[in-house]
């Protein structure tokens, strides 16, 4: 059977490195920055952006590619990502690699809440971005940005390791500009954020009665 | 199924009320009242392997199940179907005591269809939350019933069961899963050693495991329901994403099933290409298995070695198919594209490269005293249990059960190539590990025999753009990377399937974890889970 499948893609030359954040920074700095605080900030942000620790979080296919960028050929240790942590308390960012289902959604939210600030989220692959091929399903969340704020989207099904590295580097750029973008890129006000921080996010209704000593 | 006539007579003698229906592969339709008796008789006759249990919404005929049984001694196969016309209160007798593998499968059918299995000891939901409303795979399920619920999930501590009383009605009983005094810890769903989002509740006494309660469904995407609204070519895309380390084989199974239903014979060239691709995929999967097992047990170096060699396989696959992990290569009646001009050369290079590397793994890990102490003798699965649970693949073969679909029901080119089915008798973690190491070698042998002789011909048969299958039901199985991957397809003559069920390779593997991990130490659970080699998205579908 003869098939004329014509996939329209971007020309290679048109694909420029995405440096708009750096451009913006340059413009902001044109009027000069504070000598001490400004330079100190730059150093701190440079340091932070080059030692971002991911949470080992994977639900499906994208997780295998995440492992592949951890392994020898793609090696994200070159950019300072190699210290993958299994505990959300020690992680800087969470790479949502795979489909998030209704049953998993509260768990993901809880993991995100358990991470220490400043924290970032990368949505990897079609499923995490929009539900992907399973969008119409009864049990799939159509996009993790419905639950938690997302900093970088990496499209693909699953994205190639090169794409993942590019996405991770975009996150680094964003971290470097933290001072100008604001400490909390959360889509909520600082007041609201404070309130949520104090609220017990992991409320589980407990019917047991406790006496004064705290024993059940 | 060659011996249908013989079986027909025997079934007629055993149970006169069973009716043979001829559409597709054919099956015996049994009334609910006589189903349990027939199942017991068949089990006593030697039908000891429940290949697949599929819940179906048969519309006006009610809700029912289809059972695929196999006699492992003689290789006979039989398909039984039974349905309860009372949709509100559908009840079927449970067969969990005959085939242990039925336990989780019946919970799945209850979860999806609301069929109550009388006598099942633990009829909780399996994939969906306990507070889920309705049964999603029923044809009349209302999609708007269950919006996203961000409340943390509570856990049912009482297991419900339905038991028959003497007057024919049934009563609901509840049994506690764990005693008040038991020390229960939670592992997962976010845990690096559960290989995905699987969750165990483990009851401990000191360090010794007393009971494991498996919670699944954290990556349940409802693929089977989605398939019912897709045309046949559209359903193919989902198979790659079930068990992504067996993407080729999964897709091969579904394509083969649809081709069987269409009555389409594919050319020899396609058979050759599919077989080679399946074996490359198997090598890829086994390498990942070794890498992950070693990483879980603390040998990080082998993780890098495994991934280094795996990338070589992916390079070959990518050159022809364009995909690294998910290739979307097989199509109905062929393959997406012809093999790359350098495919043969590169594959041969890879075979030459891979053989000495296997020795390297042996030197570094197999002989390692820590690895041997942790693997040898832990997590023993007996042959009887392996068959009863339906734990196929490397796990079954490590227990001495020759369960390879490539040998039992040869498909594609497997009937014509010479390879050894690796079996061990120990059934422990070490045997499960060794099976995979040796199977890489066998896969290399298979590829070597085929790679030089790929015949000329077309790589895609002529197929109509809109495919309609005749009414009937079919089952096709292939040997996936980690066991028998089966596709059960029921068609009503439309351009999309009426019911499409994928026999998960991983579900039987997690269902036996409670049996084999009991009285093991908690640290051994990691080795046991690692060597069982399940992929969670394949369990949850």
Is some CB atom of chain B closer than 8 A to the CB atom of A141? yes
Identify whether the C-beta of residue B114 lies closer than 8 Å to the C-beta of residue B90: yes
Indicate if the pLDDT at residue A208 is higher than 60: no
pLDDT in tens, B352-382: 999 898 888 888 888 888 888 888 888 888 8
Name the residue among A65, A73, A99 with its Cβ closest to that of B219: A99
Chain A: residue whose CA lies nearest to B133: A138
Mode of pairing for the β-strands spanning B199-205 and B183-187 = antiparallel
Residues 6+ away with beta carbon under 8 Å from B277? B248, B252, B317, B327, B329, B330, B335
Cα–Cα distance, B418 to A142 (Å, whole number)? 48
Indicate if the pLDDT at residue A210 is higher than 70: no
- Mark which residues 151-210 of A lie under 8 Å from B by CB: 157-158, 160, 202-205
| Residues of chain B with C-beta less than 8 angstroms from the C-beta of A99 | 219, 221, 537
Category of A143 on φ-ψ map: left (φ > 0), alpha (ψ -120 to 50) or beta: left
Q: CA–CA distance from A92 to each of A42, A53, A82, B511 (Å)? A: 18, 5, 12, 36
**Is the C-alpha dihedral spanning B454, B457, B458, B462 positive or negative?**
negative
Extended strands (E) in chain A: 54-55, 93-97, 120-124, 152-154
Identify whether the C-beta of residue B520 lies closer than 8 Å to the C-beta of residue B202: no
pLDDT in tens, A94-124: 989 889 998 888 888 888 888 887 888 999 9
Q: CA–CA distance from A212 to each of A200, A205, A207, A209, B265 (Å)? A: 21, 19, 16, 10, 76
Name the residue among A72, A73, A202 with its Cβ closest to that of B152: A202
Say if residue A118 is preceded by a cis peptide, omega within 30 of 0. yes
> Which pLDDT value is given to residue B353?
92
Cα–Cα distance, A179 to A17 (Å, whole number)? 22
Across the interface, whether the CB atoms of A59 and B225 are under 8 A apart is answered no
Residue B364 DSSP class:
I
Based on C-alpha coordinates, what's the Rg of chain A? 20
pLDDT in tens, B33-59: 888 888 888 888 888 888 889 999 888
Smallest CA–CA distance, residue B451 to chain A, in Å, is 25
- State the average pLDDT for chain B: 86
Smallest CA–CA distance, residue B122 to chain A, in Å, is 20
Displacement of CA B329 from its chain's centroid (Å) = 21
CA-closest candidate to residue A147, choices A179, A181, A103 = A103
Q: CA–CA distance from A131 to each of A44, A134, A140, A160, B137 (Å)? A: 36, 6, 7, 18, 20
> Which pLDDT value is given to residue A186?
54
Residues 6+ away with beta carbon under 8 Å from A46? A176
- List the beta bridge partners of residue A140: A101
CA-closest candidate to residue B248, choices B324, B360, B180 = B324
Indicate if the pLDDT at residue A205 is higher than 70: no
- The model's confidence at residue A2, banded by pLDDT at 50, 70 and 90, is low
Token pair of B186, please? Answer: 């939670």
Smallest CA–CA distance, residue A132 to chain B, in Å, is 11
Cα–Cα distance, A75 to B267 (Å, whole number)? 42
Indicate if the pLDDT at residue A181 is higher than 70: no
- The model's confidence at residue B196, banded by pLDDT at 50, 70 and 90, is confident
Tell me what the mean pLDDT of segment B379-392 comes to: 89
Across the interface, whether the CB atoms of A86 and B325 are under 8 A apart is answered no
pLDDT in tens, B412-433: 888 888 888 888 888 888 999 9
């Amino acid at each position: 059977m003869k098939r004329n499948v014509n996939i329209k893609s971007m020309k290679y030359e048109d694909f420029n490195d995405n440096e708009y954040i750096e451009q913006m920074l340059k413009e902001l700095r044109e009027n000069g920055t504070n000598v001490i605080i400004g330079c100190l900030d730059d150093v701190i942000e440079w340091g932070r952006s080059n030692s971002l620790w991911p949470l080992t979080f994977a639900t499906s296919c994208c997780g295998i590619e995440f492992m592949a960028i951890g392994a020898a050929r793609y090696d994200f240790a070159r950019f300072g990502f190699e210290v993958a942590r299994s505990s959300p308390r020690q992680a800087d960012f969470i790479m949502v690699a795979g489909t998030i289902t209704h049953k998993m959604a509260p768990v993901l939210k809880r993991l995100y809440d358990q991470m220490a600030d400043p924290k970032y989220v990368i949505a990897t692959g079609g499923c995490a971005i929009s539900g992907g091929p399973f969008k119409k399903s009864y049990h799939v969340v159509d996009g993790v940005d419905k639950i938690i704020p997302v900093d970088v989207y990496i499209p693909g099904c699953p994205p190639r390791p090169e794409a993942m590295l590019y996405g991770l580097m975009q996150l680094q750029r964003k971290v470097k500009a933290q001072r100008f973008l604001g400490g909390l890129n959360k889509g909520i006000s600082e007041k609201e954020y404070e309130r949520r921080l104090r609220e017990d996010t992991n409320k589980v209704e407990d019917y047991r009665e406790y006496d004064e000593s705290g024993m059940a | 199924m060659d011996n249908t006539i013989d079986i027909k007579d025997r079934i007629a003698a055993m149970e006169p009320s069973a009716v043979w229906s001829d559409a597709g592969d054919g099956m015996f339709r049994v009334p609910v009242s006589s189903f349990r008796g027939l199942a017991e008789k068949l089990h006593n006759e030697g039908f000891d392997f429940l290949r697949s249990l599929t819940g179906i919404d048969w519309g006006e005929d009610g809700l029912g199940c289809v059972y695929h049984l196999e006699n492992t001694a003689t290789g006979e196969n039989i398909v039984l179907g039974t349905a309860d016309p009372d949709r509100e209160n559908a009840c079927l007798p449970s067969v969990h005591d005959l085939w242990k593998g039925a336990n989780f499968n019946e919970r799945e059918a209850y979860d999806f269809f609301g069929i109550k299995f009388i006598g099942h000891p633990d009829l909780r939901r399996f994939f969906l939350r306990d507070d889920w409303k309705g049964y999603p795979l029923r044809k009349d399920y209302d999609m708007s019933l269950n919006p996203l619920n961000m409340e943390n999930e509570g856990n049912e501590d009482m297991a419900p069961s339905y038991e028959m009383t003497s007057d024919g009605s049934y009563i609901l009983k509840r049994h506690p899963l764990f005693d008040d005094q038991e020390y229960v810890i939670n592992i997962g769903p976010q845990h690096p050693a559960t290989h995905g989002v699987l969750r165990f509740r483990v009851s401990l006494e000191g360090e010794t495991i007393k009971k494991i309660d498996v919670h699944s469904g954290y990556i349940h995407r409802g693929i089977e329901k989605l398939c019912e609204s897709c045309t046949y070519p559209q359903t193919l895309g989902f198979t790659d994403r079930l068990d992504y380390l067996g993407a080729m084989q999964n897709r091969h199974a579904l394509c083969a099933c649809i081709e069987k239903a269409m009555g389409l014979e594919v050319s020899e060239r396609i058979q050759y290409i599919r077989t080679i691709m399946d074996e490359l995929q198997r090598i890829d999967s086994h390498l990942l298995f070794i890498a992950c097992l070693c990483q879980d047990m603390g040998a990080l170096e082998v993780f890098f070695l495994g991934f280094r060699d795996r990338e070589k396989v992916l390079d070959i696959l990518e050159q022809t198919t364009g995909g690294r992990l998910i290739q979307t290569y097989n199509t109905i009646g062929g393959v997406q594209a012809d093999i790359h001009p350098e495919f043969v050369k590169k594959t041969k290079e890879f075979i030459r490269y891979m053989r000495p590397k296997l020795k390297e793994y042996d030197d570094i890990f197999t002989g390692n005293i820590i690895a041997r102490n942790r693997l040898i003798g832990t997590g023993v699965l007996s042959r009887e249990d392996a068959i009863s649970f339906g734990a196929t693949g490397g796990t079954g073969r490590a227990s001495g059960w020759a369960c390879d679909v490539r040998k039992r029901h040869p498909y594609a080119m497997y009937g014509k190539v010479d390879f050894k089915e690796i079996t061990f008798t120990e059934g422990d973690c070490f045997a499960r590990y060794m099976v995979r190491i040796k199977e890489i070698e066998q896969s290399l042998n298979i590829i070597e025999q085929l790679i030089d002789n790929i015949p000329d011909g077309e790589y895609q048969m002529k197929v109509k753009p809109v495919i309609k299958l005749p009414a009937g039901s079919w089952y096709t199985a292939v040997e996936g990377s980690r066991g028998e991957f089966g596709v059960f397809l029921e068609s009503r003559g439309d351009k999309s399937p009426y019911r499409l069920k994928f026999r998960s390779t991983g579900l039987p593997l997690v269902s036996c974890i409670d049996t084999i991990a009991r009285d093991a130490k908690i640290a051994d659970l990691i080795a046991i889970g690692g060597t069982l080699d399940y992929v969670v998205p394949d369990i949850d579908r």
